[in-house]
């Protein structure tokens, strides 16, 4: 698969996946995000970098939370935002996805933020439209969720300062998680020496070691001495499909409890991409503890999305 | 119940209910609303008091009309507005209401306008979040709808100049009406000497006199010599629950007709919070008569909401 | 039917239908649209002609595409936009359409863009509200879709420079198409000498010649030597109602194929209002050919809508 998100000068022209991004490009995004956080500290609530630009949130899967983060980030950059939930619109009239997108481009959309149930959807769109238009993948099937991967890495950088001395554990449904894939890619690129993935066997992908991670099917073992634990959300449908026995059983073996966090390093931070299932993948008091950085992740997510959007759209 | 909407300096920090507001605070809101009406007369269509602020309309019950009034008011103050209908979003993913709100705060929401089916929801939220964030109750169960109460009082002030010589009748489903509760509270605080409530016995709350009102179950009696008649909307579900016999029967005994309005003072004004059921609680030609101030109520509602939002969010 | 869209000075005060517009008014719209296209070429992405104005997209029928074009056009003029899908709001609470509109006017809406399933809806509203408020018809039943008719004529003007030497064919479900009606009206006013309509007998209105067109029920005959071919979208429900036998059969006799376009003039342009059914009314490779101007139609649609909105709302 050609890396169509980088142009001939090595600059980012879409954000489709973390794979293939250089450490330089990721750092450029982080430095830009830092600048937005600084502006905010100085009470600058809005910048006019994208005045007159139209950003289209095109969601083929419903996700109010993710859509809202992109909407807020775009408005803080002074862009105009169009929200389209495509289930309820012209797709139902039989129009192809490229016709829908090309129509929106003809209406002067400058960027599309795309959430789609099929892996590769954002990539397919980026390859088949006017090359001046920018695509940001906001989650495609089991493939990637690159802004989530970036904001998670940015959060770790904020609390741990550097990546090259860390042990990080990612816990939960590794097999079906685009978030996990994007996190693993980001941490590998940034030089994290030890990435562990912890999951029941039914939720661990075959050959996971090839991603540059160490698999564990025992949480108590896997969490030992880690600096960061990144929980994943448990999807209800995994239970329906009998991949896990029950919520209670899952919580007992793969839930992050106050007892279990004691095996990690004392200054270990706890992350979760949200929305959380309290009492399923994470004990409620752990989610609210001083080690949890779950809400800062969300705030950093706005800065990261502002950074990606402004870097892609600046002339 | 602690009055958490007033801070230690006696200033409003949330708007949850009319109960416990001082006459001074209500007057401050009215004076601010006056100033927006003046600006508008001078053709100032938009002010930039809230540039860079993000206001989140969080509606757990659908109400396009109320949501739109808050959206327009916020945009006229130059705020960014995020509309979230929570039925269709992360609540369905099992996230708690406080997690949803805290996530939106982490995305930099500055104020929440909350409509919820349960009494006390806005109060619960205000008590459990970051104290810098502002909450406006846009209707909670049978409890309160404070901006409606304020705009109704503001409308009366506009047409009648003072409150201390008025007889006011509120007519309809007093029992289930948050609008009635907020109106009664506002009029009592502002010194209206005689407030009557008119309803069939099945729609009159037990012990209603304790609210400082005089109950009537005969409309012709209750409307005699009043200066203001405030109709309530009849909810279809009251009929389904057999609390009233039929629309026709209701109209005959509790509908405001041209004949009935003759019992009131000749300069009596007629109010309704909308949406109206013409021919059910109000005769169509009465709704369109020169005594009706139903559409001015809506316009004053924008000014009142602008006043509340700008007072709460100004530094 | 009185022409209520023109005021006593011959100026446009609503846009309800193309019927009764003078060539002068249409040219004024085109010249204004030209100016927006020029600004855009000079990289002016947004103008502040309508700052502080509130435009309400009031859609009684769902049409994400049309709504989005009006939303983008309004935002490029710096207006505030309120989107209301009325199926899901107060109509379901039994409120009349005029009460809904009058409430929104009381909330300071300055213009309504109305899509409604019944012919004459926009006209009815314009006749019954405050005369300062502007109405744009975005499609009413089988009656009219005037901005579509204008943008189609504007597209023809762009590619063919003048109208007075053209043969134009409109193809498809003429009988049920408000788009066809508005196109025919516009082209007649602008002086196109030969307008052909091509349709199966079941989809051709009785007495169509009175509209100033020549009917054909054979596509190969009707397309001969035309300069412009305007395809219509085939609605699925025509098949359900047995007005056409099947998609395959329709494509064979009334689909625009590469072979069929050869009968037209060599520089014939191909138009479609979208969304297209590829393989039903148009062959996919024809839709993507160099003769197709389907996406430019969409872009011109933004400029035309900006022109109409700004002309109507300027003081």
pLDDT in tens, B221-235: 999 999 999 999 998
At residue B62, the pLDDT reads: 84
Q: Contacts by A122-127 with C-beta closer than 8 Å and gap 24+?
A: A122/A14, A122/A16, A123/A1, A123/A4, A123/A16, A123/A17, A125/A97, A125/A98, A125/A101, A126/A4, A126/A5, A126/A14, A126/A16, A127/A4
Residues of C with CB under 8 A from a CB of A: 40, 44-46, 62, 64-65, 68-69, 71-72, 75-76, 236, 274-278, 295-299, 301-302
**Hey, what domains does chain B have and what are their CATH numbers?**
23-144+298-313 (3.40.50.1370), 146-293 (3.40.50.1370)
CB pairs A-C closer than 8 Å: 64
Choose among C53, C99, C107: nearest Cβ to B276. Answer: C99
At residue C94, the pLDDT reads: 62
How far apart are the C-alpha atoms of B27 and B20, rounded to whole Å?
A: 14
Going by pLDDT thresholds of 50, 70 and 90, the confidence category of residue B96 is: confident
Q: Find out whether the peptide bond into C275 is cis, omega within 30 degrees of 0.
A: yes
How far apart are the C-alpha atoms of C79 and C100, rounded to whole Å?
A: 21
Residue B66 a catalytic site member: yes
Q: Which chains touch B (3 or more CB pairs under 8 A)?
A: A, C
Residue A196 a catalytic site member: no
Inter-chain residue contact B99 with A274, CB threshold 8 Å: yes
Choose among C68, C236, C277: nearest Cβ to A107. Answer: C68
Inter-chain residue contact A104 with C68, CB threshold 8 Å: yes
DSSP labels, A124-167? HHHHTS-TTSEEEEEEETTTB-HHHHHHHHHHHHHHHS-STT-E
Phi-psi region of B32 (alpha: psi -120 to 50; beta: other; left: phi over 0): alpha
How far apart are the C-alpha atoms of B312 and A109, rounded to whole Å?
A: 36
Inter-chain residue contact C54 with B72, CB threshold 8 Å: yes
Phi-psi region of B115 (alpha: psi -120 to 50; beta: other; left: phi over 0): beta
Q: Hey, is A196 helix, strand or coil? A: strand
* Side-chain-facing half-sphere of B182: CA atoms under 13 Å: 28
CB B75 within 8 A of CB B309: no
Inter-chain residue contact B106 with A62, CB threshold 8 Å: no
At residue A206, the pLDDT reads: 93
Residue A93 a catalytic site member: yes
DSSP labels, B140-196? ETTTB-HHHHHHHHHHHHHHHS-STT-EEEEES--TT-HHHHHHHHHHHHTT-SEEE
How far apart are the C-alpha atoms of A310 and A74, rounded to whole Å?
A: 9
* Side-chain-facing half-sphere of B120: CA atoms under 13 Å: 4
At residue B95, the pLDDT reads: 75
Tokens of A238: 């995994």
State what percent of residues in chain C have pLDDT above 70. 97
Other Cβ atoms closer than 10 A to B185 = 21
Q: Which residue of B has its CA nearest to A72?
A: B107
Per-residue pLDDT of chain A (315 residues; tens, 9 = 90+): 468 999 988 899 999 999 999 999 999 999 999 999 999 888 888 999 999 999 999 999 888 899 999 999 999 999 999 999 887 544 556 678 999 999 999 999 999 999 999 999 999 999 999 999 999 999 999 999 999 999 999 999 999 999 999 999 999 999 999 999 999 999 999 999 999 999 999 999 999 999 999 999 999 999 999 999 999 999 877 767 778 888 899 999 999 999 999 999 999 999 999 999 999 999 999 999 999 999 999 999 999 999 999 999 986
Inter-chain residue contact C72 with A102, CB threshold 8 Å: no
Q: Catalytic: which of A14, A32, A76, A115?
A: A115
Residue B134 a catalytic site member: no
Inter-chain residue contact C89 with B236, CB threshold 8 Å: no
Residue B68 a catalytic site member: no
At residue B3, the pLDDT reads: 81
Interface confidence (ipTM) of the complex: 0.93
Q: Which residue of C has its CA nearest to A97?
A: C275
At residue C1, the pLDDT reads: 47
Going by pLDDT thresholds of 50, 70 and 90, the confidence category of residue B93 is: low
How far apart are the C-alpha atoms of C181 and C143, rounded to whole Å?
A: 7
Residues in chain B: 315
What DSSP element (H or E) covers C179?
Answer: helix C178-189
Inter-chain residue contact B103 with A299, CB threshold 8 Å: no
pLDDT in tens, C214-242: 999 999 999 999 999 999 999 877 767 77
Inter-chain residue contact A275 with B107, CB threshold 8 Å: no
How far apart are the C-alpha atoms of B169 and B222, rounded to whole Å?
A: 7
pLDDT of B94 higher than 90 = no
> Which residues of chain A make contact with C71, given a CB cutoff of 8 A?
82
Going by pLDDT thresholds of 50, 70 and 90, the confidence category of residue B243 is: confident
> Which residues of chain C make contact with A96, given a CB cutoff of 8 A?
278
State what percent of residues in chain C have pLDDT above 90. 85
End-to-end CA gap in chain C: 27
How far apart are the C-alpha atoms of B92 and A34, rounded to whole Å?
A: 34
B3 or C144, greater pLDDT: C144
Other Cβ atoms closer than 10 A to A306 = 27
Q: Which residue of C has its CA nearest to B287?
A: C99
At residue B2, the pLDDT reads: 60
CB pairs B-C closer than 8 Å: 64
Going by pLDDT thresholds of 50, 70 and 90, the confidence category of residue B1 is: very low
Please, which residues have CB within 8 angstroms of residue A72's CB and are 6 or more apart in sequence?
A302, B54, B80, B82, B107, B108
CA distances from B303 to A57, B75, B110 (A): 32, 12, 20
Q: Which residue has the tokens 């009635």?
A: B180
Please, which residues have CB within 8 angstroms of residue A237's CB and are 6 or more apart in sequence?
none
At residue A129, the pLDDT reads: 96
Choose among A44, A46, A276: nearest Cβ to B99. Answer: A276
What DSSP element (H or E) covers C160?
Answer: helix C146-160
Q: Which chains touch C (3 or more CB pairs under 8 A)?
A: A, B
Q: Hey, is C171 helix, strand or coil? A: strand
Q: Which chains touch A (3 or more CB pairs under 8 A)?
A: B, C
Instruction: Cite the DSSP H helix spans in B42-145.
Output: 64-76, 97-106, 121-127
Q: Catalytic: which of C13, C115, C143, C157?
A: C115
CB A5 within 8 A of CB A122: no
pLDDT of C250 higher than 90 = yes
Q: Catalytic: which of B76, B115, B143, B157?
A: B115
At residue C43, the pLDDT reads: 86
pLDDT in tens, B199-218: 999 999 999 999 999 999 99
How far apart are the C-alpha atoms of B72 and A133, rounded to whole Å?
A: 32
Q: Hey, is B208 helix, strand or coil? A: helix
> Which residues of chain B make contact with A68, given a CB cutoff of 8 A?
82, 84, 104, 107
């Amino acid at each position: 698969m050609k890396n169509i998100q980088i142009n001939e000068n090595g600059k980012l022209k879409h954000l489709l996946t973390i794979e293939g991004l250089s450490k330089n490009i990721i750092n450029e995004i982080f430095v830009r995000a830092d600048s937005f956080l600084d502006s905010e500290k100085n009470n600058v609530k809005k910048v006019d970098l994208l005045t007159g630009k139209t950003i289209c949130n095109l969601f083929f899967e419903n996700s109010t939370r993710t859509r809202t983060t992109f909407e807020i980030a775009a408005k803080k950059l002074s862009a105009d935002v169009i929200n389209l939930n495509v289930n309820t619109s012209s797709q139902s009239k039989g129009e192809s996805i490229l016709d829908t997108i090309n129509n929106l481009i003809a209406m002067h959309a400058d960027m599309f933020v795309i959430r789609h149930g099929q892996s590769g959807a954002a990539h397919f769109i980026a390859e088949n439209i006017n090359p001046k238009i920018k695509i940001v993948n906001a989650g495609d099937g089991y493939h990637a969720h690159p802004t989530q991967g970036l904001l998670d890495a940015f959060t770790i950088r904020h609390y741990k300062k550097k990546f090259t001395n860390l042990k990080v554990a990612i816990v939960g449904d590794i097999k079906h998680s685009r978030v996990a894939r994007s996190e693993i890619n980001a941490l590998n690129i940034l030089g994290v020496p030890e990435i562990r993935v912890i999951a029941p066997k039914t939720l661990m992908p075959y050959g996971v070691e090839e991603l540059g991670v160490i698999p564990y099917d025992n949480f108590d073992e896997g969490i030992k001495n880690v600096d960061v634990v990144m929980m994943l959300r448990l999807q209800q449908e995994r239970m329906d499909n009998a991949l896990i026995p029950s919520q209670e059983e899952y919580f007992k073996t793969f839930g992050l409890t106050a007892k279990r966090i004691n095996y990690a390093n004392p200054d270990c931070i706890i992350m979760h991409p949200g929305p959380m299932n309290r009492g399923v993948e994470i004990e409620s008091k752990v989610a609210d503890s001083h080690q949890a950085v779950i809400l800062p992740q969300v705030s950093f997510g706005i800065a990261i999305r502002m950074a990606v959007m402004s870097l892609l759209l600046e002339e």
